């Protein structure tokens, strides 16, 4: 069996500025190459906090457990080390960067990822090929990063970054948030176009609708900072039909949030 891309073992996470606020309370999660995992759960269950902690956000503190990436213990790694090693996180709310074009951002990020300056001709060839693969106009790359972008354009910009960086792990934090049906379909088609046998994907979402377009291998339900159930795509469909309450009632749990995060 192949080495997991991501192996989370007994992870407990609190807010760095307030260590008494514990959000993730013992999570085990394994994502292997080529697999797509969906992480679902009610508001405040700790989904985005878990994603941020895996990516190394300094806003959170790992109190217990370990995170392995491609077989290496990266629990103490800085966020930039994780990104260079091949981890990608798309943000729930991408930040505008006026004055910085997508081209400049991508070239700088690619240099950091590979450790060497990519020759201009080679970079432009890769960029054009990726834009074509994602059915995006070349003018998109000349715009300032997320500046004046619609919700759908911000998410497409992140998918373009994903396509250029060629990571081994992509964590998509609520990529469907705020998108209409057409924008959701466009973003999902981009993700599907970039699937590779060596890429593991973790999709974080409240709703089943994005999973109509990106079919997961495994669906997990996170409640109060713990994964309380895992299953196949039918689990997401069950949640879509019935909501989370039947699962919570069966387990004797409430909708009490994990104090912070989503």
Task: Tell me the backbone φ, ψ of residue 141, rounded to 5 degrees.
Answer: -70, -15
Domain of residue 130: give its range.
Answer: 6-251
In a domain, 258, yes or no: no
Nearest to 29 by CA among 69, 2, 61: 69
176 Cβ contact partners less than 8 Å away, ≥ 6 residues apart: 184, 187, 205, 207, 209, 210
Q: How confident is the model at residue 254 (pLDDT cuts 50, 70, 90)?
A: confident
At residue 48, does pLDDT exceed 70? yes
Q: How confident is the model at residue 6 (pLDDT cuts 50, 70, 90)?
A: very high
Confidence (pLDDT) at 259: 55
Q: What is the pLDDT of residues 64-82, one digit of tens each?
A: 999 999 999 999 999 999 9
CB contact burial 223-233 (16+ within 10 A = b; e otherwise): bbbbbbbeeeb
pTM for the predicted model, two decimal places:
0.93
Give 73's strand partners.
68
Confidence (pLDDT) at 262: 47
In a domain, 261, yes or no: no
Give the span between the Cα atoms of 65 and 12, in whole angstroms. Answer: 6
In a domain, 260, yes or no: no
In a domain, 256, yes or no: no
At residue 261, does pLDDT exceed 70? no
Asked whether 184 and 176 are in contact (CB, 8 A), the reply is yes
Cβ-in-10-Å burial (0-12, 13-18, 19+) of 139 comes to exposed
Give 257's strand partners.
none
In a domain, 130, yes or no: yes
Q: Is 106 in a helix, a strand, or coil? A: helix
Q: How confident is the model at residue 256 (pLDDT cuts 50, 70, 90)?
A: low
Task: Residue 243: give its domain's CATH number.
Answer: 3.40.50.300
Give the span between the Cα atoms of 24 and 90, in whole angstroms. Answer: 20
In a domain, 24, yes or no: yes
| 180, two tokens | 């209409």
| 42, two tokens | 């009610």
Domain count, the chain: 1
Give the span between the Cα atoms of 84 and 88, in whole angstroms. Answer: 9
Q: Is 59 in a helix, a strand, or coil? A: coil
Q: How confident is the model at residue 221 (pLDDT cuts 50, 70, 90)?
A: very high
In a domain, 244, yes or no: yes
93 Cα distance to chain centroid: 12
In a domain, 1, yes or no: no
Alpha-carbon distances of 218 from 32, 40, 102, 129, rounded to whole Å: 11, 11, 33, 31
Q: What is the pLDDT of residues 183-216, one digit of tens each?
A: 888 889 999 999 999 999 999 998 888 999 999 9
């Amino acid at each position: 069996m192949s080495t997991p891309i991501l192996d989370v073992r007994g992870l407990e996470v609190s807010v760095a500025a307030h260590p008494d606020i514990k959000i993730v309370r013992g999570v085990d999660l394994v994502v292997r190459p080529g697999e797509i995992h969906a992480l679902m759960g009610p508001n405040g269950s700790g989904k985005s906090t878990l994603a941020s902690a895996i990516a190394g956000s300094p806003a959170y503190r790992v109190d217990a457990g370990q995170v392995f990436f491609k077989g290496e213990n990266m629990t103490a790694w800085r966020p930039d080390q994780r990104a260079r090693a091949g981890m990608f996180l798309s943000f729930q709310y991408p930040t505008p960067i006026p004055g910085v074009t997508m081209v400049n951002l991508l070239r700088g990020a690619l240099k950091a990822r590979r450790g060497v300056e990519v020759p201009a001709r080679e970079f432009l060839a890769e960029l054009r090929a990726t834009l074509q693969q994602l059915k995006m106009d070349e003018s998109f790359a000349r715009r300032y990063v997320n500046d004046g972008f619609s919700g759908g354009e911000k998410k497409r910009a992140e998918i373009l970054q994903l396509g250029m960086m060629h990571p081994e792990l992509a964590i998509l934090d609520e990529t469907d948030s705020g998108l209409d049906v057409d924008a959701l379909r466009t973003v999902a088609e981009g993700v599907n176009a970039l699937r590779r046998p060596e890429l593991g994907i973790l999709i974080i979402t409240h709703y089943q609708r994005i999973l109509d377009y990106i079919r997961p291998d495994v669906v997990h339900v996170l409640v109060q900072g713990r994964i309380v159930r895992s299953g196949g795509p039918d689990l997401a469909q069950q949640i879509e039909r019935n909501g989370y309450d039947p699962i919570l009632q069966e387990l004797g749990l409430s909708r009490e949030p994990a104090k912070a995060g989503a």
